[in-house]
Structure 1
Amino acid sequence: MRQRRRHRQRRDHRHQQRHRRCQRAMTEDSRDQQQGRPRRRARRQPQRSRELRVAAGHASPCRCGRCYARRPSAASGPAGPAAHVAHNLRPAFSKESFMAMSLLRRGALCCCLAWLVFCTDAVAQEAPPAGVSATRPANGLDVMEVVKGERRLTFSEVLDPQTWRGVLGQLIVIAISLVPRIVVAVIFVLLFYLVYRAARRLAVGGMNKAHVDSSIRDMLSSLIKWAIMGFGLVIAFNQVGIQITALLTGVSIVGLAIGFAAQETLANFIAGIVIFWDRPFKVGDWVEIDDQFGEVQRITFRSTRLLNLDGEVIIFPNTHMLANKVSNHSAMHLNRVRVPIGIAYKESIDRARQVLLALTERDPRICREPAPTVVVTECAASSVNLELRFWIEDEAVERIIQGEYLEKMKNALDAAGIQIPFPHLQVFLEETAAVAMLAAQRKAG
């Protein structure tokens, strides 16, 4: 940015100087015309054509090339020196042109440096550096041969530009030799990337037509990506000259060490593959595990995520999903809801059944087929336990309906006068001297 600002300032300064010279020349020309003397400066363009364009308002009286004049109008009169407007200091180049010129300037500088490094005439006239001997073979070409052996460089040799010129030349030669290989490697990577895009599009399109689960589709897309791009990187490394065998050996050793250190992660990975293959549940199903009821949000190679009714995301490792019981409430089209309640032994079971079934008659969420039922599940110590059973289609509202009907059943039984018992405890005391004394004290008090 600072360099651009300086360049803009220098450009504007040059334009102002050019404008002053043009304005001075124009003043001298007008004075010469008034006095009848010949012109002092030769015009760049034919005098007749320029005067016609200035009179028509298409050209500026100033000859700096960047000034412009206002076109004549009825209010301002004919164009001429009096109609000349203040110069507009518009930039001579746009931002893109300036960037292009900057790149050209830097490229020219790099070419000059390369010419200085590879200048054969200058190198031939100078003596060879230390540790190098010059020989001339039969064909007459100069050949630089490195003398065998090692020798420490002195401080003066380190400061010698010739020494660094040779090192820089070797680096440039190495870089130039690697450029074609790198270009070929990049081309291979781009080709394999295009192959991956085409293969992914075909695979995803086929799986969408076959209505494959989204989790399996994502897994296969990842496998296609790593397989194709990995093969492309191997070929690219071979083109550059990197030994793939040594690299694969190192990766295998590192992978073995990571495998021993991350056994649980690998177990979750294998469990994720089993879940993808067996498909006990899929994304969007409502499942229950460890008293947690929720919708499956995402299945990865490591974990499974559930969104419960409280809005919490619960993450289960895939090994835990395989090792424990999982109830899939979305596996079937209908789901049965059970709502338990108890009545006293003295109450009529048939009357309680009629009261409970009347609650489900006008609810559109409950299916008519199979019909709702009320069954006796247990004769407990203090109550006869009943259970209202009905079927619904939307498994997401199962727990909500269960809570609603538990409240409705309690209110309906209370309104019908049917008692809902609770556990009672009866204590019988034997007639002993201590009990008689306590009874006497209570009566006296």
Structure 2
Amino acid sequence: MSEILNRLRDLFSPTRITTYLVDELLPDLVVAVVTLGTAWLVWKLLERGARAVLRRSELDETAQSFIQTVIRYLILTIGVVTALAQLGVDTASLLTSLGVVGLTIGFAARDTLSNVISGLFIFWDRPFVISDLVEIDGKYGRVQNITMRSTRVVTVDGRMLAIPNSQIVNSVVASYTNFPNLRLDVPFTISVTEDIARAREIAIGVIADDARFLADPAPLVAVTELNDYNVTMELRVWLDDERSHVTMRFELRERLFEALRSAEVEMPFETFALVSEAA
């Protein structure tokens, strides 16, 4: 028993521990830290160079972000593996073990893995890009960033929505900015006794000589419903700047109402439905 205690004292003696730390571990630790620092510095230098090169390229912001993300993780992974090898870690066995562990974790975190794979599909298929105006499952906003796990959408009221990528690839995505122009449909009603041609002329006059609306395709006023108490019509116009569609819809609806009211066009609502609900 005393022999075991003597060996333990010798093994964990302050002198022996200090010698090990100073002569063996500290140099490797310093080199490992320097390796990590070098990897980080290399990434920062490459980041600046890559950003400058990508800005001069014809790639859009989404592709640039994806390339920079891949380069960052690649360089940092190489730095971490090199630093661990400097500390005496068998990186080959470690990577093999991580592969087995990663497979086990992958089964346990299927949703996260699904989001990562879906993120790759989004980068590849490109249903939208950064700064696009989109609607996903009824959620409308501007795409601020696309990560490997989620897509960040900023709504018109300033909220940031992190939508899982797996949800996006399995949903209908409506983009308001993927094509050069966007059509606005603004409905309004007139009395059944009103002149439809006159109402159409007033509606068209609202957007006449306004450069924000296109002449080709030409604006259209269509009759969409014939009700008991009113006629539902719709002003359909194409915008020159599709990104302004939210504010332009509000503005056009107000201008149309004021034009019809100024022309003393009767705009009744369906009173029968209200009476039925009250009864």
1:392 maps to 2:239: yes
Indicate the residue corresponding to 1:270 in structure 2.
Answer: 117
Structure 1: gaps of 5 or more residues: 1-148, 427-445
* Residue 289 of structure 1, aligned match among 136, 139, 158: 136
1:208-244 deviation per Cα after TM superposition (whole angstroms, max 9, x unaligned) = 1114333432332232222223223323322332222
Indicate the residue corresponding to 1:316 in structure 2.
Answer: 163
Give the CA RMSD over aligned residues: 3.2
1:106-151 deviation per Cα after TM superposition (whole angstroms, max 9, x unaligned) = xxxxxxxxxxxxxxxxxxxxxxxxxxxxxxxxxxxxxxxxxxx972
- Residue 337 of structure 1: CA displacement? 1.0
* Residue 76 of structure 2, aligned match among 229, 242, 245: 229
SS of alignment partner, residue 3 of structure 2:
coil
Indicate the residue corresponding to 2:276 in structure 1.
Answer: none
- Give 1:45-444 correspondences, 5 Å limit: 151-153=3-5, 167-175=13-21, 176-186=23-33, 188-423=35-270, 425=272
Counterpart CA distance in 2 for 1:344 and 1:294 is 36
Counterpart CA distance in 2 for 1:193 and 1:266 is 27
Counterpart CA distance in 1 for 2:162 and 2:12 is 62
Structure 2 vs 1, CA of residues 174 and 410 (structure 1 numbering), >3 Å: closer, same or farther?
closer
1:356-377 deviation per Cα after TM superposition (whole angstroms, max 9, x unaligned) = 1121125443334433221223
- Residue 391 of structure 1: CA displacement? 1.9
Contact 1:298 1:304 in 2 (8 A): yes
Contact 2:133 2:175 in 1 (8 A): yes
1:54-104 deviation per Cα after TM superposition (whole angstroms, max 9, x unaligned) = xxxxxxxxxxxxxxxxxxxxxxxxxxxxxxxxxxxxxxxxxxxxxxxxxxx
Give, as a single letter, the amino acid of the residue that structure 2 aligns with 1:266: L
Counterpart CA distance in 1 for 2:31 and 2:247 is 63
Give, as a single letter, the amino acid of the residue that structure 1 aligns with 2:70: L
Contact 1:286 1:395 in 2 (8 A): no
SS of alignment partner, residue 332 of structure 1:
coil
Q: Percent identity?
A: 34
Counterpart CA distance in 2 for 1:165 and 1:152 is 10
Structure 2 vs 1, CA of residues 174 and 417 (structure 1 numbering), >3 Å: closer, same or farther?
closer
1:24-61 deviation per Cα after TM superposition (whole angstroms, max 9, x unaligned) = xxxxxxxxxxxxxxxxxxxxxxxxxxxxxxxxxxxxxx
| Structure with more strand by fraction | 2
TM-score by length of structure 2 reads 0.81
TM-score by length of structure 1 reads 0.53
Counterpart CA distance in 2 for 1:335 and 1:355 is 22
- Residue 324 of structure 1: CA displacement? 1.8
Counterpart CA distance in 1 for 2:255 and 2:92 is 73
Aligned residues: 272
Structure 2: gaps of 5 or more residues: 274-279
- Residue 338 of structure 1: CA displacement? 0.9
Counterpart CA distance in 2 for 1:238 and 1:204 is 31
Counterpart CA distance in 1 for 2:77 and 2:159 is 38
Larger of the two Rg values belongs to structure: 1
- Residue 192 of structure 1: CA displacement? 4.1
Structure 2 vs 1, CA of residues 194 and 304 (structure 1 numbering), >3 Å: closer, same or farther?
closer
- Residue 282 of structure 1: CA displacement? 1.5
- Residue 385 of structure 1: CA displacement? 2.3
Contact 2:220 2:235 in 1 (8 A): yes
Give, as a single letter, the amino acid of the residue that structure 2 aligns with 1:306: V
Counterpart CA distance in 1 for 2:262 and 2:50 is 63
- Residue 349 of structure 1: CA displacement? 1.6
1:155-200 deviation per Cα after TM superposition (whole angstroms, max 9, x unaligned) = xx99xxxx76993443344331445544554554455445434443
Structure 2 vs 1, CA of residues 189 and 422 (structure 1 numbering), >3 Å: closer, same or farther?
closer
Counterpart CA distance in 2 for 1:186 and 1:292 is 45
- Residue 303 of structure 1: CA displacement? 1.8
Contact 2:28 2:87 in 1 (8 A): yes
Contact 2:177 2:243 in 1 (8 A): no
Contact 2:222 2:234 in 1 (8 A): yes
Contact 1:342 1:383 in 2 (8 A): yes
Higher relative contact order (CA 8 A, sep 6+): 2
Counterpart CA distance in 2 for 1:189 and 1:242 is 15
